[in-house]
Structure 1
Amino acid sequence: RMMSKEPDQALPITATQCAVAALVSGLWALADGTGGLSGPQGAWLLDEAQRSSFALPGLFLDESVRTVCAAALWTGLVTTAANRIAETVALGRLASSEASVLLATEPLWAALFASIYIGESLGGADAAGGALLVGACLANAVPKEKLLAIFGSQEAEPEVSSEASVSEEAI
């Protein structure tokens, strides 16, 4: 809604979104990577020997892991920030109903592409969830009259009792 009113505000909106995500992610990485989270939570996938090399301080010191840092920067700056700018601009040009359908079906498309490209198996619960998403999008996008015509139901007229009509006439 804001983008339709102020289409030139895509960059400030995206910058705010990315800054908040970077702040929260950075705080978590700092706490997790430096051992600030006590117990098994700190760099929890690594054993003690690997933790010194692959936790946050080790990423900047170990030359063999610098490509991982470059990949993380690429992921953060290009595939996240640039994508958010494009998405914010595009959604600003759509009607609210179209944007809601597009955003609501995002998990459906992710599951479909995961199934096609990496062989992710989808079960009955996934199909039911997808059907609910599509049904919700149709209910949002299709006018009420068409939905009633498709399903063959008609709205019942409110019944007015004779007592109610008599009391209305008395007023």
Structure 2
Amino acid sequence: MAANHMARAMFNYMPIPTPLIEKGWLERFQFSGIVDESILVSTEFSKLSITVVALTFEGVPVTQLQFDTQTHELTTENTLGLELDGKKIIYDMQSAFWPLGMLEQNMRNDSKVIEFDNMLLRTRQFYRNGLLAREITYNGAVTLLTEFEQNYRLKIERLEEY
């Protein structure tokens, strides 16, 4: 599968889990793939939408997106011309940070997710047709997402929760 090809989703988009409503995160994203990129990301959750703002390390907004969890409509505003795939960002976020039970309920027929915890690391693995498609490991404030089908890695460091 080509590296820039968006693989068919393994699960349906989901509503925001109740504990996240009216909360927010500030994170550092380090993306490795076709291009290597590092950026600050602010995410805020309301009852019906997710707002994501990508910032330079100096705090200058680069792009902003708003995802409606009811209609799955995405509104994007680019201020410095950085093109981000908003739906992919939401998909990655949900695969990494939504509760396992919600993911299991929304998985497509050809896909499954398992999670295990060996006391040192917690790991989530996503399988499509029996093949490992994505793996997410959690180590304190650092989450590492490895996407095998699309050949990229995303290191997410949670800097602040509010």
Please indicate the TM-score interval, normalised by the length of the shorter structure. under 0.3
Identify which of structures 1 and 2 has the higher relative contact order when contacts are C-alpha pairs closer than 8 Å and 6+ apart.
2
The structure carrying a bigger helix percent of its residues is 1
The structure carrying a bigger strand percent of its residues is 2
TM-score (norm 2): 0.23
